[in-house]
Structure 1
């Protein structure tokens, strides 16, 4: 496996992501929810870190992202920001905090930015919540849009299947992407849509497009850390590449630890005071 050495120590900004798109350099993004893992990911050279509401699933054990609260996402955001020196940190706005009331949406957005110190927010939705997003951007807060499969709307969809296969939904997705660019979003995440549709959107708008299950024609990729590292073995969608099997590695280490305690091998003389 080839390794790209990241020796650029400059802080990644929304402007730098745009520069990467303009010169055809792919953008790397991964989720993080705590200080220790965020530190490792940042030092490895990640361009952007997403403090995702997927913490609801992988950290709290919920079935959906809907239970994630504003206080909880702020807690995770603060933890990540204490660790990160270089990556652009984007925090998800949880379900219900941006849903058709621009004043309340701005209030929630300001809380996240003030209390976490994050660089930007990510918001699910298009035309339906465009006034909310405009209000937030007008306050000087960078926003990344999120279109395609939107996990906060899972109860409306009733399924996690690929979105925008039908022409009507695909056309709306393109319109929404253009609209998000027009009002000032610095980028858009596209989740679980056909690769050719993602390609069309990437070529249509000038802002960076980050994909998750959206093929290889987008400007960058994002995955959930627990999925990519194989910590969570119960989730294996087609778009996921597992780079390690930490579930097995950690399980074996814990079993070894238990065995050493039972056999009185740990601690030994060198590990005692």
Structure 2
């Protein structure tokens, strides 16, 4: 069934079943209007903690709070009918213990009606993933470049080159064994991404990885050209809406300066015109 023909959102098990099949399509969204545009086209829509940088002007994702995630998750939920909603767990909401992760994941899912949560980490987070899954919380894993760990990873650099490859393979195996239904591979060398995809039994979702992954995800504001503070190599611009929007704003400003806007069609008369019908005639007038 095509995405546009789908009438109900897929479940995590439906995503898992796509392993090795038709590639999985996904994007981020942070608002209702954007979610409505991608509903039914994307298999799942992620409310990413990238919202902190894209919409709130933060320098990293580390300042994103539970409240911010839930607010944007509720907005996206209102725009989705045929795509699954996945929610990022923000920094500090799950690392302390499996119990902390469970409390916060349960809150996120209850308040956004999400189908799953996503958290960063491989071997180190395997016990937490297993704890959540055993309690009915579907988990999408995220390994490779994990933006919440940039202070320990040395910035936004490619992960898994050279000797790091075996560690990343171990991460992929660990999240698979823990019960994650899919795993995001971010900024991973193509050959390694292909190897992970062939070895694990759950779908891999690439972002800066390989076309051989089981699916792909991008930040929607990146691919539409709305967020232009920087452009990672793995982003393809499918539109340049930011440039178009700035040009439109400049046109508006020019018309305001020239008093061409608002025009007659955009303003209201002091008094609505009185509607008149055909003049009435008397019998004498028709004689």
Alpha-carbon spacing, 1:5–1:123, altered in 2? closer, same or farther (3 Å): closer
CA offset at residue 137 of structure 1?
Answer: 1.2
Q: Helix, strand or coil: the match of 1:57?
A: helix
For the 8 Å contact 1:100–1:131, the answer to whether it is kept is no
For the 8 Å contact 1:144–1:186, the answer to whether it is kept is yes
Q: Over alpha carbons, which structure has the higher Rg? A: 2
Q: 1:210 aligns with which of 205, 213, 220?
A: 205
Runs of 4 or more off by more than 2 Å in structure 1? 4-10, 18-22
Map of 1:26 onto structure 2: 23
CA offset at residue 139 of structure 1?
Answer: 1.3
Map of 1:73 onto structure 2: 69
For the 8 Å contact 1:100–1:129, the answer to whether it is kept is no
Residues in 2 aligned to 1:159 and 1:145: alpha-carbon distance in whole angstroms: 20
For the 8 Å contact 1:93–1:123, the answer to whether it is kept is yes
Task: Tell me whether 1:88 sits opposite 2:90 in the alignment.
Answer: no
Residues in 2 aligned to 1:132 and 1:87: alpha-carbon distance in whole angstroms: 26
Map of 1:97 onto structure 2: 93
Q: 1:199 aligns with which of 176, 194, 200?
A: 194
Map of 2:53 onto structure 1: 57
Aligned-residue CA RMSD (Å): 1.4
Map of 1:154 onto structure 2: 150
Map of 2:39 onto structure 1: 42
For the 8 Å contact 1:35–1:80, the answer to whether it is kept is yes
Map of 1:261 onto structure 2: 256
1:57-88: CA deviation from partner (whole Å, max 9, x where unpaired) = 00111111000011111111111001101111
CA offset at residue 5 of structure 1?
Answer: 7.6
Gaps of 5+ in 1: none
CA offset at residue 15 of structure 1?
Answer: 2.2
Q: TM-score of the superposition, structure 2-length normalised?
A: 0.89
Q: For this pair of structures, how many residues does the alignment match? A: 267
Q: Helix, strand or coil: the match of 2:184?
A: strand
